[in-house]
Amino acid sequence: MASNNNNIKIHEHFKVVPPPSTQTTTTTPLTFFDIFWLTFHPVERIFFYTLPNSQSHPSFFFQKIVPKLKTSLSLTLQHFLPLAGKIIWPSDSPKPFIQFNPNDDNGVSFLIAESDSDFNHVIENSPHEASLSQLFVPNLESSDSFASIVSIQVTLFPKSGFSIGISTHHAVLDGKSSTMFIKAWAYLCSKIIETEELPSLLPELEPLFEREIIKDQNGLGDAFTNKWFEINAKMFPNEKRNKQSLKIFPFEPKLKDYVRATFEPTREDLNKIKQMVLSKWEISETNETKPQTLSTFVLACAYSLVCFAKAINGVEKEKEKFVMGFNVDCRARLEPPIPNNYIGNCVWGHIVDTKPFDFIKEDAVFLVARSIHEKIKMINEKGVLEGAENLFDDFISIISEGFQIMGLAGSNRFGVYEIDFGWGRPEKVEIVSVDRGLTIGLADSKDGKGGVEVGLVLNEHVMDLFSTLFLEGLCVN
């Protein structure tokens, strides 16, 4: 029976499992990279696709398109079998792990829905109600005893298009892994549409789940496992949970009086920021040699986060001290390097060494860009896991000193706008979960011309100021 929730009609809810012939019990350990994210909130993304009028009619969509999405997802899961399982932590196990068991209630939660929202309003870049996107991402189930890994919602917007919302557990998938999974699903779906035959995966989309290649020489896995209970107790003192609870942190999205927007600095905009930063480098009193160039990542992050901090400070004067954390992909930086198709977490967090008020100073973009550049240089010279054992304590110390921690989700290197299920490339890709903290979402530009997309959720007054700062700063000659 269909049910209504705001303007969403739920048509069907079921579990998608791999083909029966490929189902076998598998147990996959969690590495120290994974355990760091054990009860972190899920990463939520939406891919919006337009459809011709005939294909976006409910009867055609539910009878022709949805079955292909479902069949191709099942075929994808035979390659990504652990993702159809759950994280569990038996009382006799020192650490949690992933298990797929054909006899259990395993599989990927798959929700089929329909919305009467205005598709063009939902995907617009200009500020609109933050709560709207939450309607199109599914809940990821977690409890004291288990946590689901992937949850999917397909939503039809009649006469316009559809969306695929995906929630993934961060302790199993980092951004690169989850993007590769979606690319594999899209590839198999597009091939089914073309040939109606059962296709095989491209070699670069074949996943590698071998956890043995991650070496934990410093016992970080044990340290992080013990640390989680301590952090749970500190951050959520009213939450009574056992030491082996897998319940995800209750970081609720910011929705009331909050708006969501996307900004698109072009390659020309980024070049303008680069020239400004490098010209200030020449006259600054720094021991660091001026670099020949600066990466898109450094420029986009420095500019966006400075506008972010200044907008928050402009509205909430008492918030003055900001710091930035970002994740580094470790695959190519470990010894020996980890293959590109490794599925799991292989990212490590680093805090940029800025001074407390750098983000709101007049020359903030230069100061922050220089600090990000120097941090990346230090990582490349000293190793990506330098100081890893202190990361938990560093974050707790920064919070206790009253700093606002700003973070990043996504990457401009994931190629999300290339993901075509057989009905064309996405019209919009959105990282919804940036609404759970001071986080910006980063993606490659839709037109593929070297710009980036920056997505964020802010209080509507703060967003007004952010928009002004962001756009005016790019107009300066």
Sign of the four-CA dihedral 60, 17, 179, 134: positive
Same domain, residue pair 189 and 297: no
Q: Does the pLDDT at position 22 exceed 60?
A: yes
- The three-point CA angle 223-441-168 to 5° equals 55
pTM above 0.85, yes or no: yes
Same domain, residue pair 264 and 199: no
Is 247 among the domain residues? Answer: no
**End residue of a domain, out of 220, 235, 250:** 235
The Cα–Cα gap between 20 and 25 comes to 12
Same domain, residue pair 75 and 166: yes
pLDDT for 6 equals: 56
Same domain, residue pair 108 and 211: yes
Same domain, residue pair 198 and 282: no
| 170 carries an active-site annotation | yes
- The three-point CA angle 34-40-43 to 5° equals 90
Same domain, residue pair 228 and 272: no
Catalytic, out of 41, 79, 169, 170: 170
Same domain, residue pair 316 and 428: yes
Catalytic, out of 118, 216, 363, 420: 420
Is 240 among the domain residues? Answer: no
Rounded to a whole number of angstroms, the distance between the first and last alpha carbons of the chain is: 60
The residues facing 28 across adjacent strands are 98
**Secondary structure of residue 387 in the 3-state scheme:** coil
| 79 carries an active-site annotation | no
Residue 354 belongs to domain spanning: 258-475
Is 250 among the domain residues? Answer: no
Same domain, residue pair 277 and 144: no
Report the CATH number at residue 55.
3.30.559.10
For 17-38, b where at least 16 C-beta lie within 10 A, e where not — what string?
Answer: bbeeeebeeeebbbbbbbbbbb
Once rounded to an integer, what is the mean pLDDT over residues 379-404?
89
- The three-point CA angle 67-167-157 to 5° equals 50
Same domain, residue pair 279 and 401: yes
Is 385 among the domain residues? Answer: yes
Same domain, residue pair 175 and 271: no
The Cα–Cα gap between 328 and 346 comes to 8
Same domain, residue pair 330 and 390: yes
Once rounded to an integer, what is the mean pLDDT over residues 367-387?
94
Any idea what DSSP says for residue 65? I
- Please report which residue ranges of 327-403 form alpha helices under DSSP H: 364-382, 391-400
pLDDT for 250 equals: 78
**End residue of a domain, out of 186, 203, 235:** 235
Is 225 among the domain residues? Answer: yes
**Residue-wise pLDDT tens digits, 218-272:** 888 888 887 777 777 777 777 777 778 899 987 899 999 999 999 999 999 999 9
Is 245 among the domain residues? Answer: no
Same domain, residue pair 324 and 454: yes
**Residue-wise pLDDT tens digits, 65-96:** 999 999 999 999 999 999 999 999 999 999 99
**End residue of a domain, out of 202, 235, 268:** 235
Q: What's the number of domains the chain is made of?
A: 2
Is 204 among the domain residues? Answer: yes
Once rounded to an integer, what is the mean pLDDT over residues 408-419?
97
Is 298 among the domain residues? Answer: yes
For 446-471, b where at least 16 C-beta lie within 10 A, e where not — what string?
Answer: beeeebbbbbbbbbeebbbbbbebbe
